[in-house]
Chain A
């Protein structure tokens, strides 16, 4: 009965490779090979080519590190994260607490707040840019402000004050707060009601005291996961920046996160694939250091005492 051996549960190695193999192969071909190739390219003068011949050592790395545009893009990322991580965290937690307390139509409100997560970043960015925050008198924001006698504001073209941050941060908040609200809701629903009952018996005042001493400590694992995801997502920001700020002539020198800058260097008209690869390697190293630092800070992987 050799057929049974093949089709049955005995031949685990075969089935392991049948299920895992295609994905492992995909990962190798579409992730690891390009990654290794990118590291290779970073040591060459690779203008308009992926098979370069002019070895230049670490020149791409030194020029990238000396490049103000690249360092500015890292500052942009830092500013963006400083805005978006805490605001999304607080907003999604607040929404979760609110929805969790609602007794009626909870599913309805959960869906309403989650719905923006289904919208594409590109579409949302274009709605924000073209109808809500365009700079002419018939833009939604300018119309509303006009009722109060305010002048037209060019939201995405004004650097002093930098109103473009308002547009960038609000579109991302709208898009992602609902998703993190769901994570917090799941965390909240896992907290045992007996804890709240015990706290009430002990005389804890409902509201801030219960939130601080019961809810937040119980949400610690969810909070760590949410924070990590928020930081990683902020690093990957591209779509809304690109669609809000770029035009046919290029991209302004402000609010340019690292991925947008590297896109223009490597894949845009510049086609400097060597320099772009060096930037990508540097960015990967920075992300690795930040992630490891963050994991140590949160104590991830440490044995419970």
Chain B
């Protein structure tokens, strides 16, 4: 039988189509390790050089499964949320959560048994938001926190002391603002996203109370948020910087005298400014207030739709529970984070002096973690209101009243499911 050119082309095209229809499970990637079942592991893109190679090295060191690592840039939380609806998502994934809805919908696997005998060694502040219904749904990897960085020399030149109250922060920002340098950078949205609920905690309130009620149905909340408007109205805030608050560039380039940023920025700030900086929590507001800063942790979770849930759990235990040397390396060798294990955090030399030591102390004294009951819908409603208060001068009382209503409805919804 002779094959005509047309038949050959036709067959080729058909094969091409069939190949194109094959599903891309994302299981081909870097860092594949041992034999056994294939597992895919997702991370969000860390900015620190070497972090990607490190996690690929960890995966390659695991011998009981062939783990392939995917380093995913872009809107990571949205990507994982969508992937969890399908069978082609990750087996193991890093998550800034999981959210209450993800837990209630059964999208993640219960990991409580991995903590047997070591639960007390995990930082309780970051373990709490991973716990629901007495079960733990993700293994905290490293602890992160937000801080207020300030430039010592600029404060000294302006005769300003590091602020001890929110009012002092407002005054300091105004005093530090010149034609070329702004007093404070809280993000290009004026602080609505970066500060979020931190001012509520600085006023001695909370987002959601421990017994599951709205924690800011109090006049003090409106008073405190009004002070953020004052910062904006005084023109003390840097706005429209090329990089947002999570990047220390605006601070290190001298565009601002103070900046709200993360612990991760500490090495970059030290490299640029030497010892000419200090760190603070968001100062307290009012008689019942106390300094405050958010503490959180990306955790390793296992997708409930994966084919190898048992093997994925084993891998998570090996890497983030038993493999303390990996956690230590990941936390301190690339970026700058606090290991989630208390025993590791205590012995880390890098965390024992200067601003880093202050940061660790603040995290235990003033740190709060966003509660699991603070759902994305509540967060959006609150942040929208805060943005209107800061930028448009909307009335804080009426804005907060409407947010309280929405958050109450959200709390009722999620409680109904439990």
Contacts A250-B380, A253-B388; A49 near B244 (Cβ below 8 A): no
Contact segment of B158-166, B213-221, B234-242: B234-242
Q: Give 1 or 0 for each of A166-202: 1 = CB within 8 Å of chain B CB.
A: 0000000000000000000000000000000000000
Contacts A139-B240, A269-B77; A248 near B387 (Cβ below 8 A): no
A270 — which chain B residues lie within 8 A by C-beta?
376-377, 380
Q: Give 1 or 0 for each of A44-84: 1 = CB within 8 Å of chain B CB.
A: 00011110000000000000000001000000000000000
Q: Which residue of B lies closest to A273 (CB)?
A: B85
B392 at the binding interface (Cβ < 8 Å): yes
Within the complex, what minimum Cβ distance (angstroms) separates B45 from chain A? 12
CA distance A136 to B254 in the complex (A): 11
Evaluate contact between A247 and B189: CB separation under 8 angstroms: yes
Evaluate contact between B392 and A159: CB separation under 8 angstroms: yes
Q: Give 1 or 0 for each of B102-114: 1 = CB within 8 Å of chain A CB.
A: 1001010000000
Chain A residues bordering chain B, tally (CB within 8 A)? 36
A130 at the binding interface (Cβ < 8 Å): yes
Evaluate contact between B188 and A135: CB separation under 8 angstroms: yes
CA distance A267 to B77 in the complex (A): 10
CA distance A175 to B395 in the complex (A): 38
Report which of B192, B240, B393 forms a contact with A249, defined as CB distance below 8 A. B192
Most buried by B among A49, A50, A269: A269
Evaluate contact between A137 and B180: CB separation under 8 angstroms: yes
B227 at the binding interface (Cβ < 8 Å): no
Q: Give 1 or 0 for each of B384-400: 1 = CB within 8 Å of chain A CB.
A: 11011001110000000
Within the complex, what minimum Cβ distance (angstroms) separates A68 from chain B? 8
B388 — which chain A residues lie within 8 A by C-beta?
253
Q: How many A-B residue pairs have CB under 8 A?
A: 106
A87 at the binding interface (Cβ < 8 Å): no
A117 at the binding interface (Cβ < 8 Å): no
Within the complex, what minimum Cβ distance (angstroms) separates A25 from chain B? 12
Q: Which residue of B lies closest to A268 (CB)?
A: B78
Q: Which residue of A lies closest to B97 (CB)?
A: A269
Evaluate contact between B78 and A249: CB separation under 8 angstroms: no
B193 — which chain A residues lie within 8 A by C-beta?
247-250
Q: Which residue of B lies closest to A269 (CB)?
A: B376
Evaluate contact between B240 and A154: CB separation under 8 angstroms: yes
B344 at the binding interface (Cβ < 8 Å): no
A155 at the binding interface (Cβ < 8 Å): yes
A291 at the binding interface (Cβ < 8 Å): no
Q: Give 1 or 0 for each of B61-105: 1 = CB within 8 Å of chain A CB.
A: 000000000000001011001101100000000000001011001
Evaluate contact between B188 and A267: CB separation under 8 angstroms: no
Report which of B84, B179, B242, B379 forms a contact with A48, defined as CB distance below 8 A. B84
Q: Which residue of A lies closest to B391 (CB)?
A: A159
CA distance A243 to B380 in the complex (A): 18
B246 at the binding interface (Cβ < 8 Å): yes
Q: Which residue of A lies closest to B85 (CB)?
A: A50
Within the complex, what minimum Cβ distance (angstroms) separates A140 from chain B? 12
Report which of A49, A157, A268, A272 forms a contact with B240, defined as CB distance below 8 A. A157
Report which of A160, A247, A253, A271 forms a contact with B376, defined as CB distance below 8 A. A271
Contacts A136-B255, A137-B180, A157-B188; A248 near B78 (Cβ below 8 A): no
B379 — which chain A residues lie within 8 A by C-beta?
269
CA distance A48 to B250 in the complex (A): 37
Size bracket of the B interface? 35 or more
A250 — which chain B residues lie within 8 A by C-beta?
193, 380, 383
B391 — which chain A residues lie within 8 A by C-beta?
157-160, 252
Evaluate contact between A130 and B77: CB separation under 8 angstroms: no
Evaluate contact between A269 and B81: CB separation under 8 angstroms: yes
Evaluate contact between A160 and B84: CB separation under 8 angstroms: no
A135 — which chain B residues lie within 8 A by C-beta?
188, 238-241
Evaluate contact between A253 and B84: CB separation under 8 angstroms: no
Within the complex, what minimum Cβ distance (angstroms) separates B296 from chain A? 13
Interface positions of B from 174 to 198, Cβ below 8 Å from A = 179-180, 187-190, 192-194, 196
CA distance A222 to B135 in the complex (A): 64
Interface positions of B from 339 to 392, Cβ below 8 Å from A = 376-377, 379-380, 383-385, 387-388, 391-392
Within the complex, what minimum Cβ distance (angstroms) separates B185 from chain A? 10
Within the complex, what minimum Cβ distance (angstroms) separates B78 from chain A? 6
B102 — which chain A residues lie within 8 A by C-beta?
48
CA distance A268 to B74 in the complex (A): 12
Evaluate contact between A269 and B78: CB separation under 8 angstroms: yes
A156 at the binding interface (Cβ < 8 Å): yes
CA distance A270 to B413 in the complex (A): 14
Within the complex, what minimum Cβ distance (angstroms) separates A242 from chain B? 10
Evaluate contact between B377 and A247: CB separation under 8 angstroms: no
A151 — which chain B residues lie within 8 A by C-beta?
179
A109 at the binding interface (Cβ < 8 Å): no
Within the complex, what minimum Cβ distance (angstroms) separates A28 from chain B? 16
Q: Give 1 or 0 for each of A91-134: 1 = CB within 8 Å of chain B CB.
A: 00000000000000000000000000000000000000010011
| Besides the known contacts A48-B105, A252-B391, 8 further A-B residue pairs in the complex with CB atoms under 8 A apart | A49-B105, A135-B188, A154-B188, A160-B391, A249-B244, A253-B387, A267-B82, A269-B379
> What is B's interface to A at a CB cutoff of 8 Å?
75, 77-78, 81-82, 84-85, 99, 101-102, 105, 107, 179-180, 187-190, 192-194, 196, 238-242, 244, 246, 250, 255, 376-377, 379-380, 383-385, 387-388, 391-393
- The contact sample of 21 A-B pairs, CB cut-off 8 A, is A47-B101, A48-B81, A48-B85, A133-B240, A135-B188, A136-B242, A152-B240, A160-B392, A249-B189, A249-B196, A249-B244, A250-B383, A252-B189, A252-B387, A253-B387, A267-B78, A269-B380, A270-B376, A271-B99, A271-B376, A272-B377
